Amino acid sequence: MNYRKVKAIIRGDVLEKVERELEVIGVTGISVTKVKGYGEYSNFYSKDWMVSHARIEIFTHETKADAIARSIIETAYVGLEGDGIVAVLPVEKLYRIRTQSEVVVDDI
């Protein structure tokens, strides 16, 4: 099994644009979570410095991971602190709960 998890934290205001682009390039499934935190950019006007962002997670075959990451980077780019980050992580095993079986390459 050669899967990757593409995980991105992006500005909330570019989320819909990124979702549309991922659909165009053929991504068949994503998870999106609203998150708060700070890193390169902090909200100094907030008492806890937190900034709202969106986290996207995609499980894909390793051959598609870099193209997906590049697409997110290009689409989410604004050119300011707080644009976000993208990580590509190895996946040791992936199971589909419905079938109670390990996912094969053609499933994703």
Q: At 105, is the pLDDT very low, low, confident or very high (cuts 50, 70, 90)?
A: low
CATH number for the segment(s) 3-107? 3.30.70.120
pTM above 0.85, yes or no: yes
Six-digit token pair at 15?
């989320």
Six-digit token pair at 38?
């700070």
The residue ranking higher by pLDDT, 108 or 45, is 45
pLDDT in tens, 51-77: 899 999 999 999 999 999 999 999 999
Q: What is the pLDDT of residue 106?
A: 59
Query: Would you list the domain boundaries of the chain?
Result: 3-107
What's the CA gap between 83 and 38, in Å, rounded? 11
- Amino acid code (one letter) for 96: R
User: For residue 85, what are the CA distances in angstroms to 43, 92, 98?
Assistant: 17, 22, 32
